[in-house]
């Protein structure tokens, strides 16, 4: 089966039919859109329709379905909600992310590209390619709507990427609405995706008669998200901290020239010392959590030694294992040993007909967690738990961030 088979099965029949018709795929009047409960038979029937198309058209439709299928994830759903709400596109009454994506593909295809970019930003939020910066709360206006400022920032992007000035470039500016999953509070963001023509690459491809080497022009992307109310700018781009600092300097120069320089919001330190004793990882019924366990601890000694202890089986906890095997010499109590990493497993209750599952969270000193690899909703959920369990240091206040500057 093609990778889009699950997408087809979950798509509303009317919307799927409209999408295919818009791509020149017309089903006969007696086509069974609900065959075998919209299972394998439906997928095969639609694949049979596609196989009747000319090869180029068939490939194009399948490629688009595979692209939409890849977007039909939790991050894709949240991205679609944020983009569509910011663009005043009504989603009320639509039947899930598949319905939303097909609707956009039919009626507003440019929005699908924005959803794809937004889903990527959600996935990378808090990761190695992402930084958040805080401007002082000085009340001075930002020139986010200035075309001159936008043009200047776009031109400098090419310089930062160290590309020739003749490279084609384009900036897509739009609004999105970010909703805090925990509080429901909405924040209106101004976002930009900068597209720049990268260096060309040579690849083999089938030509008219045989294999030929063709030049393929790649595209680089830089993502910017601004919250003027909170005076925050998020930058998502490859190249490391120094490169993101250059984008920030350019942003300040063109959009916030009256404000003092911003500072990067540091990652919150993890606090692993409390795991020296079996912690009280309290939960409430609303969490939907069955159990939580510390499944591994990593220790480093003052003389450079390293020890990793992992929980095996359900007969005893990791703490019971350490007490049984090390007694008073356990690294939890012996001098010279420091906890440098820990893994928690959060077992979730079954919900809405779905089986229970486990969220695995890794914490490493001084400030590394695996939380950025979760969906946005899972990140908010896990961060809330880590705060409750005192495993994360409090976030710095804006005043604290700017103490050094003052």
Q: Which pLDDT value is given to residue 308? A: 92
Residue 203 has which token pair? 């690849």
Peptide bond into 366 cis (omega under 30): yes
Residue that is written with structure tokens 């959590």 in the block: 289
Q: Give 81's Cβ-side CA count (13 Å radius).
A: 21
User: Per 3-state DSSP, what percentage of the chain is helix, strand, and coil (rounded to 5)?
Assistant: 40, 25, 35
Q: Which pLDDT value is given to residue 74? A: 83
Distance CA 218, CA 163 (A): 13
Helix (H) or strand (E) holding 42: helix 40-51
**Calculated CA dihedral for residues 325, 328, 333, 336, nearest 10 degrees:** -90
Residue 95 has which token pair? 């039947």
Q: Which pLDDT value is given to residue 233? A: 93
Per-residue pLDDT in tens (0 to 9) along the chain, 406 residues? 347 888 888 898 899 999 999 999 888 888 888 755 556 788 888 888 888 888 889 899 999 999 999 999 888 998 999 999 999 999 988 888 999 999 999 999 999 999 998 988 887 776 778 888 999 888 899 999 999 999 999 999 888 988 888 888 999 999 999 876 656 678 899 999 999 888 888 888 777 778 888 887 788 889 999 999 989 999 998 888 889 999 999 999 999 999 988 888 877 889 999 999 999 999 999 889 999 999 999 999 988 889 999 988 778 899 998 988 887 788 998 888 999 999 999 999 987 777 888 889 999 988 888 776 667 678 778 888 998 999 988 877 766 666 644 4
Distance CA 65, CA 8 (A): 8
End-to-end Cα separation, the chain, in angstroms: 62
Q: Which pLDDT value is given to residue 112? A: 94
Q: Are strands 289-301 and 263-264 parallel, antiparallel or unpaired?
A: unpaired
DSSP per residue over 88-144, as a string? Answer: T---TT--HHHHHHHHHHHH-HHHHHHHHHHHHHHHHTTSTTEEEEE-----PPP-T
**Residues near 317 by Cβ (< 8 Å), separated by ≥ 6?**
278, 293, 294, 311
């Amino acid at each position: 089966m093609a990778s889009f088979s699950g997408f087809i099965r979950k798509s509303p029949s009317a919307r799927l039919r409209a999408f295919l018709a818009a791509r020149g795929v017309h089903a006969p009047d007696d086509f069974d859109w609900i065959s075998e409960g919209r299972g394998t038979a439906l997928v095969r029937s639609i694949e049979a329709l596609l196989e009747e198309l000319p090869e180029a058209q068939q490939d194009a439709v399948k490629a688009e379905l595979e692209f939409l299928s890849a977007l039909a994830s939790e991050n894709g759903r949240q991205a679609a909600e944020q983009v569509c709400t910011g663009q005043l596109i009504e989603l009320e009454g639509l039947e899930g992310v598949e319905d939303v994506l097909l609707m956009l593909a039919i009626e507003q295809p440019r929005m699908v590209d924005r959803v794809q970019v937004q889903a990527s930003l959600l996935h990378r939020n808090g990761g190695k390619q992402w930084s958040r910066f805080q401007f002082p709360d000085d009340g001075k206006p930002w020139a986010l709507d200035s075309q001159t400022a936008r043009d200047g920032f776009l031109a400098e992007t090419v310089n930062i990427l160290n590309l020739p000035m003749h490279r084609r470039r384009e900036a897509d500016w739009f609004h999105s609405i970010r909703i805090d999953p925990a509080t429901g509070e909405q924040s209106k963001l101004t976002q930009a995706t900068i597209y720049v023509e990268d260096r060309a690459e040579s690849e083999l491809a089938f030509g008219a008669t045989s294999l030929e080497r063709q030049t393929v022009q790649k595209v680089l992307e830089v993502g910017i998200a601004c919250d003027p109310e909170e005076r925050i700018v998020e930058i998502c781009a490859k190249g490391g901290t120094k490169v993101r600092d250059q984008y920030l300097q350019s942003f300040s120069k063109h959009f916030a020239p009256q404000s003092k320089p911003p500072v990067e919001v540091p990652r919150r330190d993890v606090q692993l010392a409390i795991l020296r004793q079996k912690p009280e990882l309290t939960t409430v019924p609303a969490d939907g959590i069955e159990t939580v366990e510390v499944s591994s601890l990593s220790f480093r000694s003052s003389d450079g030694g390293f020890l990793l202890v992992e929980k095996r089986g359900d007969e005893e906890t990791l703490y019971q294992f350490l007490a049984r095997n090390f007694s008073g010499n356990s690294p939890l109590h012996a001098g010279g040993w420091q906890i440098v990493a820990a893994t928690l497993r959060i077992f979730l209750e079954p919900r809405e007909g779905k089986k229970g599952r486990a969220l695995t969270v890794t914490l490493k000193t001084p400030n590394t967690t695996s939380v950025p690899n979760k969906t946005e909703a899972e990140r908010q959920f896990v961060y809330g738990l880590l705060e409750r369990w005192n495993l994360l240091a409090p976030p710095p206040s804006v005043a604290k961030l700017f103490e050094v500057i003052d």
